[in-house]
Amino acid sequence: MALFSCGLFAALWIPPHLTVNNLRSHGVTTPARVTAVNTHTKSVKVRFSASKHLVNTELYDASGMISEVETGDDLAVTYDPHDPSQVLAQSWLRHPPYVNLAVIGSGFLILFFTVGTAALILRRRHILRTYGRPPTPAPTQLNPGEPPIPLTKT
């Protein structure tokens, strides 16, 4: 379970890093017009021009990084010129929200399962050393009232 939690942590941590680094290295910043705001899903639909065509996309605000915008406002976005569907708000690129509830939760799962596994191993070792199998008696002590059994052929 600890390995599963590590995989979950990596799956939640690595893709945002790659996206932000990709857009920081060769992204194009442009103003976008807010076409719709959905407060229920915390998303903002924007339209911007990229390479002579209009792109309509939806930006999700998972960590409260998009400020209060309304329909018709301008919002600075950065997009990948090779893939205009890969777009982030400029505020996300300056201060990316890498730490969110899912990342923190998976970090605690890693800690919980790792400490639990170590505690289980140490407890089992203690039980086996303390209450393990009693030592096997020597062959001459099997029946104390009888004469000892010779161990060599005569």
Q: Is residue 60 part of a domain?
A: yes
User: Total domain count for the chain?
Assistant: 1
Q: Is residue 148 part of a domain?
A: no
pLDDT, residue 39, reads: 78
Residue segments in the chain with a per-residue pLDDT below the cut of 70: 62-67, 134-150, 154
pTM above 0.75, yes or no: no
Report the CATH number at residue 51.
2.40.50.320
Q: Is residue 52 part of a domain?
A: yes
pLDDT, residue 47, reads: 92
| Domain with 53 in it | 26-94
Q: Is residue 55 part of a domain?
A: yes
Q: Is residue 46 part of a domain?
A: yes
Q: Which residues contact 17 (CB under 8 A, 6 or more apart)?
A: 96, 98
Q: Is residue 119 part of a domain?
A: no
